[in-house]
Amino acid sequence: GQNIDQPTEMTATEGAIVQINCTYQTSGFNGLFWYQQHAGEAPTFLSYNVLDGLEEKGRFSSFLSRSKGYSYLLLKELQMKDSASYLCAVKGSNYQLIWGAGTKLIIKP
């Protein structure tokens, strides 16, 4: 079957760095996405990886290893507004997205 695994919840301190991992097993791979979702709101796009390596965008970076079926989202200089759920999604062989259940990130002062 196809599945996306990510931790259910993580806690980090304001100003610190946190890494959210995502492992996947899918039939085919056409890209991996990270979305941010604040409570009660819609998901919003953060990053896209299709080739191995690190993509950096401001405080957020995303890494992909296709051979290991693994990605992580790295958040630096954490701010209280980063408290949200982070969704990992893989575009499979049919070009539809398969979504993980999301990681709820709690930021403490």
Q: How far is the CB of 63 from other proteins (least distance, A)?
A: 17
Site for other proteins in 63-102 (CB under 8 A): 87, 89, 91, 95-102
With CA atoms as reference, report the closest residue to 73 among 55, 96, 91: 55
Using CB atoms within 10 Å of the CB of residue 63, give its burial: 0 to 12 exposed, 13 to 18 middle, 19+ buried. buried
Q: Does 106 bind other proteins (CB under 8 A)?
A: no
* Footprint on this chain of other proteins (rule: CB under 8 A): 4, 31, 33, 35, 41-45, 48, 50, 87, 89, 91, 95-102
